Amino acid sequence: MSARHRGAGRPVPGVRGGLRRVRGTAAVRRVCAGWRRLGRRVGFVPTMGALHEGHLSLVRLARAAADKVVVSIFVNPLQFGPGEDYRRYPRPAAGDLLLLRRAGVDLLWEPRVGDLYAEGERTRVRVKGLEEVMEGALRPGHFEGVATVVAKLLGVVAPDDLWLGQKDAQQARILEQMVQDLLLPVRVRRGPTLREPDGVAFSSRNAYLNASERGQAVALSRGLTAALRALRSGERSAARLRAIIRRVWREYPGVREDDIAVVDAGTLLPVRRVRGRILVAVAARVGPARLIDNFEWEPR
């Protein structure tokens, strides 16, 4: 069977109007090109599945800004390092499909690994200076995997808007730079971090936590809240901001610090004192999960 027909779009049973699921790249190109010929604006939300309210908020933003919305679900092996959770990463396909149906997504792209990484492919995308710091220093090669797969996804969908979440702030900054440097005709847009009622940022990895661990996970947002309160009260020392977060975390013995960073929001380089827009980002291990959170802030 040809690639054109093997990945051909098909309506989801029971969806009126609705969501089309495709696998092959040729089918995605064909559908999206047809929309563009009709003058439709296309918004794109790339995901690894295990969808939650944070993803759905991006879908809603894309829906409000575009005529057609494409979502991809692809657990990208290239961004997982040795010993990381690629094989056990949650893949609740039926639940994800139901959420996307309800959200009014027009096209769901579910590529196979071979669709994006064909035998013999060699190209990788690196964004020097942004990918080696913070998370990148702790997870070598991670952001090369992210940038490479998103470049491939954009090459197929060719959307007008690419929607990313603020929770993955370093990732968003890297992809903004990649799009700018490669002259890609897409607007990168960020949606705010969405949180559960107790302040924990929505994350697919929250599913790894038992009830006790889930109670410890609030430390990340509470530490950040304390740092933000200090900034608003006039604190400008990065070292003292980090100490404030650690002081909060000491109340949560199940939290194991990976990183607490206070950096320039554009360059991602560490700052000693807060003078312009900064990113305060944290990473910690709680039970079997590695969680991240952050906020950006600028003095007035």
Contacts of 279 (CB under 8 A, 6+ apart): 169, 170, 261, 262, 263, 264, 265, 268, 294, 295, 296
Please, which residues bridge with residue 270 across strands? 263
Cα–Cα distance between 31 and 137 in angstroms, integer? 39
Structure tokens belonging to residue 85: 């959770």
Distance set, CA 95 to CA 92, 110, 146, 204, 205 (Å): 6, 14, 24, 13, 16
Token code pair at residue 118: 């064909």
Both tokens of 35, joined, read 């929309």
Question: Is residue 256 within a helix (H) or strand (E), and if so which, with residue range?
Answer: strand 255-264
Pairing of strands 10-11, 20-22: antiparallel
Catalytic residue list contains 55: yes
Distance (Å, whole) CA 167 – CA 193: 5
Residues in the chain: 300
Cβ-proximal residues to 67 (8 Å cutoff; 6+ apart), any chain? 35, 40, 41, 42
Catalytic residues: 55
